[in-house]
């Protein structure tokens, strides 16, 4: 087979099952691609030896006729998932040498299905960021560049390393996590598919926590079909996660060919925000026409509390983060400051040295909104608004089955362009945070290019635990868009 790294997950699965290629051959191709793409800084930890050992074990199982759903397929894992015996950093100095003694449920599900671990992908520190510039291990670079420019672009965040690895053909697919858009936003600006499942669909056990009521693991892939395949392996009920929901995991792949005829697609009028890039608006209009042409019914809906979503999110998420990150104290694991004289100084210096500026900012915001005298004014009000935002979706779904929106307000921007303005950075999540606040599933699908040749994505939002319909609608967008563009491999010459 010509270039193994160009294969989709589905194509590689069929090739391995048909014994047209071995897992070892496939894995060696991706190990080579991963090593050649180090200028992208997509990986924090590469595991080539482990990958080849896992590939050999897969080939042995295949020879005996024992094949899991992902048998022999090389994947990348976001460095937020604990991997037993493999360093897990969450992109932070405070965990820079942490090697977990246990495996996250999601990654264990993948290994049980026969997948191969290529390495751990770089990410915004503790998943806090929209550009992958807050990582202790340096920024990740987008494989895409503007036409006629050598400026390095961000891959989105926080799952920027996973997005870059998939877009650059450094793995067949990758895992990501989505707290306010951290799968869908990087997928959209990197020209790949990113699916955030319903809250509770995938176990959070063994995933380093950011905001526990918002975090959800999901697949980042080259195609919608690949997302369906990977989600089927990732999802499960888990008694170790009290928020994991015991609902049937359907055969997502089998339902993709149903089409969208008769599907009611809602267009939320509040998403037509001031300052929306004209190219995004035009793509959104095009998406409506694509779905209409395939037999979908288009209806306008209202999500009246959308304007409160970002401020609500940036109260709830930092509040939960300040609580979750209190465990990093320099005592039990992680970075421990030297030359301290008492326990208070140990806490203060370890955390000051261990956490980066963005994480410190969010801990301070979260601690403030939870503090005496401010809890009622901020956190309690945000929780009430969150209920209203969720209710908006419930009302909208009385008129429609899914929603179609932009995935991001614009394409990838240059590294360093927005780091000095946190509010401008936070606005990148304007179309995605509502979904997390309501706990719903959503997918970002590459649907077009800017005049400068950069990817743009559309988002399908669905009802709780109806990922099957989200995937079906996403597939319809994918077929109509016929997005086949690939980034030029500039990093090979770097």
Is residue 494 very low, low, confident or very high in pLDDT (cuts 50, 70, 90)? low
Residue 1 has pLDDT above 50, yes or no: no
Is residue 373 very low, low, confident or very high in pLDDT (cuts 50, 70, 90)? confident
Q: What value does the mean pLDDT take over residues 382-406?
A: 97
| pTM reported for the whole predicted model | 0.96
CATH 2.60.40.10 at 4-263+399-493, yes or no = no
Nearest alpha-carbon partner for 163 in 220, 123, 114: 220
Residue 493 has pLDDT above 80, yes or no: no
Kindly state the percentage of the chain with pLDDT values over 70: 99
The DSSP annotation for 197-245 comes to: PPTTSS--TTBPPS-TTT--EEEEESSHHHHHHHHHHH----TT-TT--
Residue 197 has pLDDT above 60, yes or no: yes
Is residue 372 very low, low, confident or very high in pLDDT (cuts 50, 70, 90)? confident
Is residue 148 very low, low, confident or very high in pLDDT (cuts 50, 70, 90)? confident
What's the pLDDT tens digit per position in 285-320? Answer: 999 999 999 999 999 999 999 999 999 999 999 999
Residue 431 CB partners (closer than 8 Å, separation 6+): 181, 271, 405, 406, 407, 408, 409, 459
Catalytic residue ranges: 78, 158, 182
**The 297-301 sheet, strands edge to edge:** 43-46, 116-121, 74-78, 173-177, 217-221, 193-196, 442-449, 455-461, 402-406, 264-268, 297-301
What's the pLDDT tens digit per position in 14-41? Answer: 999 999 999 999 999 999 999 999 999 9
Q: What does the pLDDT read at residue 276?
A: 79
What phi and psi, each to the nearest 5 degrees, are found at residue 163?
A: -60, -45
Q: What does the pLDDT read at residue 275?
A: 72
Please say whether the beta carbons of 217 and 109 come within 8 A: no
Output DSSP code: residue 134: S
Q: What value does the mean pLDDT take over residues 226-240?
A: 97
Residue 75 has pLDDT above 80, yes or no: yes
Cis peptide before 158 (omega within 30 of 0): yes
Strand locations in 274-350 (E)? 297-301
Q: In the predicted model, what is the mean pLDDT of the chain?
A: 95
According to DSSP, the residues that pair with 173 across neighbouring strands are 75
Query: Distance between CA atoms of 291 and 476, rounded to whole angstroms?
Result: 7
Q: What does the pLDDT read at residue 417?
A: 85
Q: Where are the domains of the chain?
A: 4-263+399-493
Q: What value does the mean pLDDT take over residues 228-250?
A: 96
């Amino acid at each position: 087979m010509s270039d193994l790294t160009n294969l989709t997950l589905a194509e590689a699965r069929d090739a391995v099952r048909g014994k047209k290629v071995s897992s070892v051959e496939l894995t060696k191709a991706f190990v080579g691609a991963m090593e050649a793409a180090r200028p992208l800084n997509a990986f924090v930890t590469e595991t080539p030896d482990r990958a080849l050992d896992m590939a050999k074990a897969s080939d042995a199982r295949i020879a005996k006729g024992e094949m899991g759903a992902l048998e022999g397929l090389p994947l990348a894992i976001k460095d937020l998932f604990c991997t037993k015996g493999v360093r897990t950093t969450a992109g932070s100095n405070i965990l820079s040498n942490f090697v977990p003694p246990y495996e996250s449920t999601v990654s264990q599900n993948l290994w049980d299905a026969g997948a191969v671990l290529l390495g751990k992908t770089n990410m915004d520190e503790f998943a806090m960021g929209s550009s992958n510039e807050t990582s202790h291990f340096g920024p990740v670079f987008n494989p895409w560049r503007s036409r006629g420019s050598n400026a390095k672009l961000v891959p989105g965040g926080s799952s920027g390393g996973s997005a870059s690895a998939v877009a650059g053909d450094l793995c067949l697919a990758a895992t990501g996590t989505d707290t306010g858009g951290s799968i869908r936003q990087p997928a959209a600006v990197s020209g790949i598919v990113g699916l955030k499942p319903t809250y509770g669909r995938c176990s959070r056990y063994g995933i380093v926590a950011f905001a526990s009521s918002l975090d959800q693991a999901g697949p980042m892939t080259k195609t919608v079909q690949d997302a369906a395949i990977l989600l089927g392996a990732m999802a499960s009920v888990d008694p170790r996660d009290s928020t994991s929901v015991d609902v049937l995991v359907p055969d997502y792949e089998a339902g993709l060919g149903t089409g969208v005829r008769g599907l009611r697609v809602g267009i939320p009028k509040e998403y037509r925000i001031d300052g929306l890039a004209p190219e995004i608006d035009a793509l959104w209009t095009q998406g409506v026409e694509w779905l209409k042409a395939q037999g979908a019914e288009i209806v306008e809906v209202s999500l009246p509390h959308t304007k409160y979503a970002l401020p609500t999110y940036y109260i709830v998420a930092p509040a939960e983060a300040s609580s979750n990150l209190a465990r990093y104290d320099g005592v039990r694991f992680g970075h421990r400051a030297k030359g301290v004289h008492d326990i208070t100084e140990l806490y203060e210096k370890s955390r000051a040295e261990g956490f980066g500026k963005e994480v410190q900012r969010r801990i301070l915001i979260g601690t403030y909104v939870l503090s005496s005298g401010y809890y009622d004014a901020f956190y309690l009000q945000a929780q009430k608004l969150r209920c209203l935002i969720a209710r908006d979706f419930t009302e909208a779904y009385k008129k429609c089955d899914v929603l179609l929106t932009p995935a991001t307000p614009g394409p990838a921007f240059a590294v360093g362009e927005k780091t000095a303005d946190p509010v401008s950075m936070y606005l990148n999540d304007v179309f995605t945070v509502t979904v997390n606040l309501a706990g719903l599933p959503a997918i970002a699908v590459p649907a077009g290019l800017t005049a400068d040749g950069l990817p743009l994505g559309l988002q399908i939002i669905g009802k709780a635990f109806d990922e099957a319909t989200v995937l079906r609608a996403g597939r319809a967008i994918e077929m109509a868009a016929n997005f086949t563009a690939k980034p030029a491999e500039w990093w090979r010459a770097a």
